[in-house]
Homo-oligomer: A and B are copies of this chain.
Amino acid sequence: MTDMNRPAGIGGILAPGSVAVIGASEDLTKFGGRLYTLLVQHKFPGVIYPINPKRESLLGIQCYAAIGDTPTAPDLAVMAVPRDHVKAAVQECAAAGTRAAVIITAKFSDSGEEGAALEREIVEIARAAGMRLIGPNCLGIISPANKLALCSSPALFVDKLPEGRIGIVSQSGALMATIFDRAQTRGVGFSHCFSIGNQADMELCDFLEFLIDDPATGVICTYVEGLKDGPRFLEMAARARAAGKPILAVKAGRTDFGAAAAFSHTASLAGSYDAFATACRETGVVLLDDADAMIMLAASLTTFATPARSDVAILTTSGGGGAITADRLADAGLPMAAFDDGTAAAMEELFDSHLTRVNPMDMGAAKFGGSTANSNKCTQALMKDSGTGLVIAPITTSPDVAKICMGICDGMEIAAEGGARKPCLIVVQPGQAGDKARADLRARGMIYLESIDEAIRVAEGYRTMLASSPRNPASSGSPGKAPEGLSGALDEAAAKTLLAAYGVPVNRGEVVAEAGEGALTAGMMDGPLVVKVVSPDIVHKSDAGGVALNLAGPEEVSEAIASMQARLAKSHPDAKIDGFLVQEMVSGAFEMFIGATNDPQFGPMVMVGAGGVVIELLKDVAMARAPVTPAEATAMLTGLKVAPLLAGYRGAPALDVAALADAVSRVSWLAADLGEGFAELDVNPVLVRVAGQGCTGVDARILMEG
C-alpha cells in the first residue's frame, strides 16, 4: 500500500517511495526500454518495479507480470505501452491504489474523436480512484532534484542529471528534451522538468503551482501552446510574483503560421497571442519568442542579480565583433550604455585617451599586455558603471579566449565583493578554439552563450522583465450601467447610444425619412450638422449632390433635405432612397480607433491605436485587460508609435490625449459591463482634436454573442 502520509499533489508524486515502469525492457530502441534504463542508471533512490510478463528480471532488478503482483502498490506508475493497453493499465493502477500515473503513450485527444473519448474514459477511471494522471502524449518527467528520470529522451544519456534552480513545464516534449540537452551541455541545470502532453487530468497550472512552492526552484520556464484555464494562469503569475520567482514563457502561435502549426499538433487550440502577451505583461510573466533564450535568461537570472536598467555595455576583443554586436543592439532597439565618470577614469588608465567612454569597450586596444589582467580590470569598471545595466562580451577567437574569460570572471568576483553583480553575458561561439574557455567557464559555474543573437535575446528578455507593469483591471467605478439582454450586432445608432450613455463622446446621428423629421432630429443635436443621403444606388454622394455640410440648425437641415430630395428626384429618378442621415459634423482631426474584444481565456480586452490609413501601415495598437483607468489608458497611448504625433509633432499643437484616454477608459468599462455575452466593439474612427477640444467617435459597432 502507498504511504498516505506523503504530501498530496505533485510534490508527493515527485518523491515516490516506489515507481513501476509498465512496458519496461532493456531494449534501447523502445520508449519503455530507454525510460527504464535511464531510471536505473540515474540511481533513483526508491524501489523500482519493472512490469514485463516475459522477463524474470531486468538490469538485475526483479520483474513483475502486472501491477497487482508487486509487493506494495507503486506510488507512481509510468506507462510506455501501446495505446490499446493503456486503459487496462490505468485500471490496474487505480485498483492497486497507485497515487499517480505518467502516460507517455500518444494518439488520444491529440488524434481525433475516438482518442479523445478514450482519454475521457481513463481520466474518469483515475479520478474515481483518486489517482492523478500526467499526459498522455507526453515525454515524462526529469527531476534532478529527486534523482528521478522518468523520460525516454536520449538527452538523459549523461553521467549525471544536471541539477540547478530552473524548473520547466512544457507542452511539447520534444522541445523540452532539445532545450534540456542543449542547456546541460553548457552546464545549465534544472530542478524539475515536466512534459505535460494533453493535460487530460493535471494541467499546466498544477505544475506551475508546484514549482512556485518548490524551494529547489528559483526560476520557472514554460512553453505554452494553449491554456486550459486562463484565470488560474493569472493567479499563478501573481503568486510567483509574490514569491519573487520569475516565470518565463514562450508561446507558439505568435503569428498566423505558428497558430496553424500548433493547431495541427495538439489537442489544445492556440489562444489569441496578443491577449496572452497582454496578460503576461500585466502579471509580470516574461514572454519571449525563443525557447533557448528562455533557458539562458533563466540561467542568467539564477547566476546574476536582476539589473536595474537594460542599457548594454559591449566588452569585446575585436572591433569587428563589437561593431556587429552594436548593430544588433540597435536593431533590437536596446540602448547602448553611456559610461559614467568612474568608468571614464578607469578607461583613461587602460586605453588611449580617445577611447575613454567609447562603448563597445575593446580590450584589444588596451595599452598594457596581459589578457587576464585587462579583462579583469575592464569587467570591474563595467560592473561598477552606473550607466550599464548588463554587459555583453563577445569573445572572438584568439589564443587567449580562456584567459580573457577567466579575467572577466575574476573581475566580476572582485566587483561582487562591492555588491555589484550585474549580468555579464559572455559569448564564446562554437568551434574548437573556444573549447577550453567553455570548459573553464562551466567549471567555474559561469554561464556563456554561443552566439550574439542569443545574447541579444537574453538582453531583450531583461528589457521585457524591466518593462513589465503588473496591474489588475479595476473592479469598481463604472461610469455607466450596461443594459441586459442584448444580442447580435448593434448598428451604429444603437452602439452610439450605448457609448454615449457611458460618456464616450460620439457624434450623434440619425436616419430620417424626410425634411420635417430632419428638423426635429437636428433640434436635439449640437454644433454644425451634416446631411448625407442614404441610398444603395448612389455611390459618389458628394458628386450627386447628396451631401450637405456645415448646417447651422434644424431649419437649415430641413431645407437641405428638401432641396436634396428635389435634386435627386431629377438626377437619380430610379435610385432607392432609404432616408437621410443627420449627423453632428466633425472635422479637422487625427484618426485613432478604440476597440474591445472578449478573450476566451482572459476576458474583456480594450485596444487603442492609430486609425485610418496609418493603422494598416503601422499595426500600431496597445492592448490591456479591461477595464482601465484614464491613467492606465494614458500609459497605453504613450507606448504607441504615433505617440509623438499625439504629443504634438514638429511644432504642431498637442492633441487631446486626456480626452482620448478618458474615452478609452469608458469604452473599457462598457466592454467589461456587457459581460459574458460581449464579443466585439469598435469605435473607428475616433477623431482627436487639439488639446482641450476633445475627441469624437464617428462610427461604432458592437457585437454580442447569440
Residues in A lying within 8 Å of B, measured CB to CB: 28-29, 34, 111-112, 152-155, 157-158, 170-175, 177-178, 180-182, 184-186, 223, 225, 250, 252-258, 260-262, 264-266, 270, 289-292, 314, 317-324, 326-331, 336, 352, 354-355, 358, 360, 362, 364-365, 396-399, 401, 429-434, 450-454, 613-614, 616-618, 641-642, 644-645, 649-650
> Main secondary structure on chain A at its contact with chain B?
helix
Given contacts A153-B398, A178-B431, A265-B319, 11 further A-B contacts (CB under 8 A): A155-B432, A155-B433, A170-B320, A172-B320, A178-B318, A180-B397, A186-B430, A254-B327, A292-B451, A451-B454, A616-B649
Which residue of B has the minimal Cβ distance to A617?
A: B641
Q: Determine how close the nearest CB of chain B comes to the CB of A353; give it in whole angstroms.
A: 11
Residues of B contacting A317 in the complex (Cβ-Cβ under 8 angstroms): 174
A175, B362: Cβ atoms closer than 8 Å: no
Contact of A34 among B255, B355, B399 (CB under 8 A): B399
| Nearest 3 interchain pairs by C-beta | A265-B319, A172-B320, A174-B318
A327, B255: Cβ atoms closer than 8 Å: yes
Question: A184 to B324, alpha carbons, bound, how many Å?
Answer: 21
Q: Determine how close the nearest CB of chain B comes to the CB of A312; give it in whole angstroms.
A: 10
Question: A182 to B433, alpha carbons, bound, how many Å?
Answer: 9
Contact of A177 among B184, B396, B450 (CB under 8 A): B396
Residues of B contacting A258 in the complex (Cβ-Cβ under 8 angstroms): 323-324, 326-327, 330
Question: A260 to B185, alpha carbons, bound, how many Å?
Answer: 36
Which residue of B has the minimal Cβ distance to A174?
A: B318
B257, A327: Cβ atoms closer than 8 Å: yes
Residues of B contacting A451 in the complex (Cβ-Cβ under 8 angstroms): 292, 451, 453-454
Question: A641 to B619, alpha carbons, bound, how many Å?
Answer: 12
Which residue of B has the minimal Cβ distance to A326?
A: B257
Q: Determine how close the nearest CB of chain B comes to the CB of A269; give it in whole angstroms.
A: 13
Residues of B contacting A431 in the complex (Cβ-Cβ under 8 angstroms): 155, 178, 181-182, 184-185
Q: Determine how close the nearest CB of chain B comes to the CB of A612; give it in whole angstroms.
A: 9
Which residue of B has the minimal Cβ distance to A618?
A: B617
Q: Determine how close the nearest CB of chain B comes to the CB of A434; give it in whole angstroms.
A: 7
Which residue of B has the minimal Cβ distance to A431?
A: B181
B327, A181: Cβ atoms closer than 8 Å: no
Residues of B contacting A644 in the complex (Cβ-Cβ under 8 angstroms): 616-617
Which residue of B has the minimal Cβ distance to A265?
A: B319
Contact of A174 among B29, B261, B262, B398 (CB under 8 A): B398
Residues of B contacting A260 in the complex (Cβ-Cβ under 8 angstroms): 326, 358
Question: A155 to B428, alpha carbons, bound, how many Å?
Answer: 13
Which residue of B has the minimal Cβ distance to A362?
A: B265
B178, A396: Cβ atoms closer than 8 Å: yes
Residues of B contacting A645 in the complex (Cβ-Cβ under 8 angstroms): 613, 617
B396, A174: Cβ atoms closer than 8 Å: yes
Question: A326 to B170, alpha carbons, bound, how many Å?
Answer: 18
Known: A184-B431, A360-B261. A177 touches B398 (CB 8 A): yes
Which residue of B has the minimal Cβ distance to A319?
A: B265
Could you list 27 A-B pairs, sorted by A, with CB under 8 Å?
A28-B399, A112-B352, A153-B398, A154-B397, A154-B398, A174-B320, A175-B396, A178-B396, A178-B397, A178-B431, A182-B429, A225-B323, A252-B320, A253-B327, A257-B329, A257-B336, A264-B358, A265-B319, A265-B320, A265-B323, A289-B328, A290-B453, A291-B324, A451-B453, A616-B644, A616-B649, A617-B618
A432, B158: Cβ atoms closer than 8 Å: yes
Q: Determine how close the nearest CB of chain B comes to the CB of A536; give it in whole angstroms.
A: 16
Q: Determine how close the nearest CB of chain B comes to the CB of A386; give it in whole angstroms.
A: 20
Which residue of B has the minimal Cβ distance to A644?
A: B616
B174, A324: Cβ atoms closer than 8 Å: no
Which residue of B has the minimal Cβ distance to A430?
A: B182
Q: Determine how close the nearest CB of chain B comes to the CB of A509; give it in whole angstroms.
A: 21
Residues of B contacting A250 in the complex (Cβ-Cβ under 8 angstroms): 324
Residues of B contacting A323 in the complex (Cβ-Cβ under 8 angstroms): 225, 252-253, 258, 261-262, 265, 270
Q: Determine how close the nearest CB of chain B comes to the CB of A412; give it in whole angstroms.
A: 23
